[in-house]
A and B are shown apart, each in its own frame.
Chain A
Amino acid sequence: MNIELRISQSLYQSIHADLSRKHSFTAERVGFIACASGSLSDGGLLLLAESYLPVADDNYVDDPSVGATMNSTAIRVALQTAYNQPISMFHVHRHEHRGLPRFSGIDLRESQRFVPDFFKVQPHRGHGVIVLSHDSAAGLCWTPGVKDPITINKVVVVGRPTITIRRAHDQY
């Protein structure tokens, strides 16, 4: 399945700005991107980023073994947002380098724990995870009724400039 994510340049920059903020004890920040959806003529899925939901300072767990761990409130807030609107929800974090990022083993393991919860509140939408680098992005999308995620083929940041990031390899 062809999956493409589009995001406006201003929203993309605001996500980077939030993920760049220092936290008192976590090494990195995370958040959620809410997306509208559309179909593509090849049967693919078009994800259209609407808004960003940062994880509040208080909703991190002090766990030095990983970059950032959310607590249950952070997940509940994201689930509540998805429950109230017809949206796809994507967890987002950033790897501190340039070039195409890849999901780590921990990223994949943790994603498989919390992404299924979003199908309980929005069962007919795709949900997943995005990882950014300083100049690139990659993503995985779970679709209803399918166990394994699908790699997002293309991420397009629309604005001045318009940047197209194409999948270089399967992420999963």
Chain B
Amino acid sequence: MINTNSRQSFLGPKSAAEFGGQQIGIIGLCGGGSHIAQQLAHIGFKHFLFCDFDHVEDTNLSRMIGSRPQDAEQEEKKTVVIRRMVIDINPSASVQLMESKWQDQAEQLRSCSVIFGCVDSLSARDELERFCRRFLIPYIDLGMDVHSSNQGFSISGQVVMSLPDQVCMRCLGILRDEELAKEHARYGAAGGRPQVVWPNGLLASAAVGQYMSLILPWSQDQVPSLLLEYDGNRQCIRESSKLSYLSEFECRHFPKGQGLGDPFYVTTA
């Protein structure tokens, strides 16, 4: 029988149940998040929770999938634009919107099966990873940057998969206290950082692939990598060499079985 899943049937007989049962959280819906939402909607995922407090601006149109010039003119919310795109692709999808900072409605995010972090700042990554570790939610983080060099510019990026009892973004050197402190010191004066659509697309595709291999591994020897690195000048994504040094490393930032749940939780009848 030909159906929408016939070309992805190698994902297995459980795939339809997974697409219907997973709650996808995406924080940040511009360069990275818009690609991820689009791909997951095409795959067939049905339940989304989108979080972004911002509206579309002209500067977003060069990289935000699904955005239109009139969205910028009308200052349409990014959440509304991405919901429109997802519903166009998959009319049966249910989409919850959080048009504020995610911390303001964090309880809603606890139901997520996965959270994709597509945020600009290190502090936002840090907070999201802490939240996900506390509630045992797989966290997949995308980041890209453009640096000036002697020969022009270099584009780089990474996809991190942060899972319980595994190395974290601090272990991997993605988050460092001195960099967080610098970021805090220049709060409000960072300006717009360079972002372009094709690295966002590559990194988002890699992140979606990581997630698919996490929940529906299509090969018995498949172990999704905890850190993929992107060299945007050579158009190359590969597993980070750092992981070979960290294979026996135990994360001390999130010790096993500690710091889980609500510290003052009380069950009422």
- Taking Cβ atoms with an 8 Å cutoff, the residues of A that contact B are 6-11, 35-42, 45-46, 48-51, 86, 124-126, 143-146, 156, 158-164, 166
Known: A6-B135, A41-B110, A158-B137. A51 touches B267 (CB 8 A): no
B258 contacts chain A at the CB level, 8 A cutoff: yes
B152 contacts chain A at the CB level, 8 A cutoff: no
Interface of B, secondary structure class, is: loop
Query: Among B22, B166, B268, which residue has its beta carbon within 8 angstroms of that of A144?
Result: B268
Query: Are B267 and A125 closer than 8 Å at their CB atoms?
Result: yes
Set of chain B residues within 8 Å of A50, measured between Cβ atoms: 257-258, 260
Complex: A145 Cα to B266 Cα, angstroms: 13
User: Which parts of B220-269 form the interface with A (CB within 8 Å)?
Assistant: 223-224, 256-258, 260-263, 265-269
Q: Separation in Å of the A82 CB from the closest CB of chain B? A: 14
Q: Mark B107-141, 1 if CB is under 8 A from A, else 0.
A: 11011011000000000000000000001111000
Query: Among B137, B165, B269, which residue has its beta carbon within 8 angstroms of that of A11?
Result: B165
Name 13 A/B residue pairs within 8 A (Cβ), A-sorted: A37-B262, A38-B262, A39-B107, A41-B107, A46-B135, A49-B136, A50-B257, A143-B267, A143-B269, A146-B269, A159-B163, A162-B113, A162-B163
Total chain B interface residues with beta-carbon distance under 8 A: 36
Query: Among A6, A161, A163, which residue has its beta carbon within 8 angstroms of that of B136?
Result: A6
Query: Among B110, B111, B136, which residue has its beta carbon within 8 angstroms of that of A8?
Result: B136
Number of interchain pairs (Cβ within 8 Å): 108
Query: Are A46 and B267 closer than 8 Å at their CB atoms?
Result: no
User: Which parts of B16-32 form the interface with A (CB within 8 Å)?
Assistant: 17-18, 21-22
Query: Are A161 and B262 closer than 8 Å at their CB atoms?
Result: no
B215 contacts chain A at the CB level, 8 A cutoff: yes
Complex: A37 Cα to B135 Cα, angstroms: 9
Set of chain B residues within 8 Å of A86, measured between Cβ atoms: 263, 265
Complex: A158 Cα to B155 Cα, angstroms: 32
Q: Mark B161-177, 1 if CB is under 8 A from A, else 0.
A: 00111100000000000
- Taking Cβ atoms with an 8 Å cutoff, the residues of B that contact A are 17-18, 21-22, 107-108, 110-111, 113-114, 135-138, 163-166, 213-215, 217, 223-224, 256-258, 260-263, 265-269
Known: A143-B269, A166-B21. A51 touches B257 (CB 8 A): yes
Query: Are B261 and A38 closer than 8 Å at their CB atoms?
Result: yes
Known: A124-B267, A158-B164. A164 touches B111 (CB 8 A): no
Q: Separation in Å of the A136 CB from the closest CB of chain B? A: 12
Query: Are B262 and A39 closer than 8 Å at their CB atoms?
Result: yes
Query: Are A164 and B260 closer than 8 Å at their CB atoms?
Result: no
Set of chain A residues within 8 Å of B214, measured between Cβ atoms: 160-162
Query: Are A46 and B18 closer than 8 Å at their CB atoms?
Result: no
Query: Are B267 and A126 closer than 8 Å at their CB atoms?
Result: yes
Known: A38-B110, A50-B258. A8 touches B224 (CB 8 A): no
Query: Are B110 and A158 closer than 8 Å at their CB atoms?
Result: no
Set of chain B residues within 8 Å of A159, measured between Cβ atoms: 163-166
Set of chain A residues within 8 Å of B138, measured between Cβ atoms: 158, 162
